[in-house]
A and B are shown apart, each in its own frame.
Chain A
Amino acid sequence: MLLEAQAVSKAFGSFFAVRQADLCVDEGEVVGLIGPNGAGKSTFFNCLAGDTMPTSGKIVFAGQDVTSAPPETHARLGIGRTFQVPATFDEMTVLDNVMVGAYLRHSHHGDARVSALQTIELTGLKAQTNMPARSLGTPGRKRLEIARVLATSPRLMLLDESLAGLTPMELKEAIRLVQKIHEMGVTIVIVEHVMEVIMTLTRRVLAFNQGHVIASGAPEEVVRNEAVIEAYLGRGRHKHRSRST
């Protein structure tokens, strides 16, 4: 059990964005998180990453309790994450961005640079190495975020809609990249709306709605789960279906 979240809840005032959410991820898995907007996926992610402190519950990573640990500690222990809205260091170059990640594992400038360049090559950003991050389009910046986090040599990567808004070509490349990363031994938890990503990459999926895990299992099953469909599409559709059968 690499990552375990037990009964995690996060309340903002009286509103519970996440309610008693559980998650178990074994080393080497690729797990998907789906659910409609506002279901609490990102908040849950933020709890896993240490960005937000859960109101209650427990998060354990590689045997260590990280529930109240800050993001820096999470990163050092080997949890990396990307952001739903890319948060690249826009005024810095692609290389400098990735180096910030590399510096987590290499304190020496030369070593960090070598590691960063390798990661850049791996993620297909070599042509943009010395360009400012802001000159990359959104797909480029999402890819840069992945590269940057990869440079921290994470054991677990939390990808927050990193493959959204891509053209079919870009999507295929991105999926291949994530697969490559997985083959390198990185465990992956991915939040995604794009079904192709979920079906292709993940072996196990959790569905969120209103802060709560409502279904979990193989992607094909979860996607057909009635509660999940209802969550995405609302009650009306369900009634319509039952009338027609």
Chain B
Amino acid sequence: MVAAAGPDGQSVKIPGPTPTILLAAGLLAYPLVFSGPFYLDIGVTFLLAAISASAWNIVGGYAGQVSVGHAMFFGLGAYAPLLCYTLFGWAPIAGIPFGIAFSIALAVAIGIPTFRLTGHYFSMATIAVAELIRIYFGTWDLVGAAIGLQGPARARDWWDLTFRSEVPYYYIFLAVLAILLRVTFMIEQRRFGYYLRAIKAGERAARSLGVPVQQTKIRALTLSAAFTSLAGSLYSVKTGFVDPESGFGILVSVQMVIIAALGGAGRLYGPLVGALILIPLQTTTNTWFGGGGTGLTFILYGGIIVLIARYEPGGVFELWDRAAPRRWRRKHAA
């Protein structure tokens, strides 16, 4: 934090570079310090989770439009590269723009009818569409039906991005996360961000002030969809595999929501904090409950989500702010 004098003469604390620099340094150095495959894997999983949840955060956290089916964008992004490889023999990354394009189109198709109605419609629509796509892909031979798709078994050239070590993936993912957070930060500082928050805080009042609510929500959803799609693409390029469950499954949607909500929906670093807590937790419980611990993991997730909803919808960040009101007031000085 850096202290400065604002134009109104009040002492103002601007979020300075220090926490961000520390964070960046930590993330950059992580693979050098924790270089074993186990730690690298957690690191990569963490980054992917943080990217997905941060993407969700734009529409779910800032604008308050709670999507519980964001896997639809993730899945499209995951299938697109491997489909391009399977059908045309392209390097998977060439398929990334297609995933993004389809996701944006889907976002618009969903947003237009549902954003006119109350928030619950949107949430219901997201589940319905995600499930619809998941079931359909399970029957569609073009995309491998229930078996799914695979990427190149061995790197044909550098563009295939099949690395033997996880380190390059780590840094690619880190770069994407950095870009996404930067974009989110920019949004926060500009009119778009204020309008998102206004919509969340009171749609009717927002409209009376000239906020183009429908348009703004759709923009938020398409931006979110694009980055979520990118996350899905990163996932399938790295693992070289996708099927209806890993692409469009409910776990994918749930994880995005819980990570963002746990850390703090609507906060820049909320999803990051959420991922920081949840990914190591998940890895630990998977070890306790066994690999097929999906049942117990979900029970845990369900319980956490209910607790968040009941006691602290603002997540860890809100908890933190509540414990230090003076720090809050200074931090939120414009």
Contacts and interface: CB of A to CB of B under 8 A. Distances in A.
Q: Do chains A and B touch in the complex (CB under 8 A)?
A: yes
B201 interface: yes
Nearest to A113: B334
Contacts of B194: 96, 99-100, 103
Contact of A152 (B191, B201, B209): B209
B210 A89 contact: no
Contact of B201 (A71, A91, A107, A117): A91
A152 B202 CA distance: 17
Interface stretch (A26-34, A73-81, A163-171, A207-215): A73-81
B179 interface: no
A162 interface: no
Contacts of B195: 100, 103
A132 B194 CA distance: 15
Nearest to B201: A89
Which of B202, B211, B332 has most chain A Cβ within 10 Å? B202
Contacts of B210: 72, 75-76, 104, 152
A87 B204 contact: yes
B314 to A, nearest CB: 9
A96 to B, nearest CB: 7
B334 A71 contact: no
Contact of A71 (B8, B191, B208, B333): B208
Contact of B209 (A93, A126, A148): A148
Nearest to B208: A71
Interface string B130-147: 000000000000000000
Given A51-B204, A113-B334, A104 B209 contact: yes
Given A100-B194, A113-B334, A92 B208 contact: no
A96 B209 contact: no
A134 to B, nearest CB: 10
Contacts of A104: 209-211
A131 B329 contact: yes
A112 B191 contact: yes
Contact of A75 (B7, B204, B208): B208
B211 A93 contact: no
A152 B209 CA distance: 7
A72 B108 CA distance: 21
A61 B7 CA distance: 37
Q: How large is the interface on A (under 10, 10 to 19, 20 to 34, 35 or more residues)?
A: 35 or more
A72 B211 contact: yes
Contacts of A112: 191
Interface in B154-195: 189-191, 194-195
Contact of A96 (B8, B190, B213, B334): B334
A54 interface: no
Contact of B8 (A70, A92, A117): A117
Interface string A40-76: 0000000001010000000000000000001110111
A152 B205 CA distance: 13
Given A91-B201, A113-B334, A107 B10 contact: no
Nearest to A90: B201
Interface string B237-249: 0000000000000
Contacts of A80: 208-209
B190 to A, nearest CB: 6
B334 A81 contact: no
B201 A93 contact: no
Contacts of B7: 114, 117
B256 interface: no
Interface in B61-110: none
Contacts of A179: none
B208 A93 contact: no
Which of B198, B209, B212 has most chain A Cβ within 10 Å? B209
A90 B210 CA distance: 18
Contact of B334 (A51, A76, A130): A130
B125 to A, nearest CB: 22
A101 interface: yes
A92 B266 CA distance: 12
A202 interface: no
A83 B209 CA distance: 12
A88 B191 contact: no
Interface of A: 49, 51, 70-72, 74-76, 80-81, 83, 87-93, 95-96, 99-101, 103-104, 107, 109, 112-114, 117, 126, 129-132, 148-149, 152
Interface of B: 7-8, 10, 189-191, 194-195, 197-198, 201-202, 204-213, 329, 332-334
16 contacts: A71-B207, A75-B208, A83-B204, A83-B205, A88-B202, A90-B201, A92-B201, A93-B332, A95-B334, A99-B194, A100-B195, A100-B206, A103-B194, A104-B209, A113-B334, A130-B332
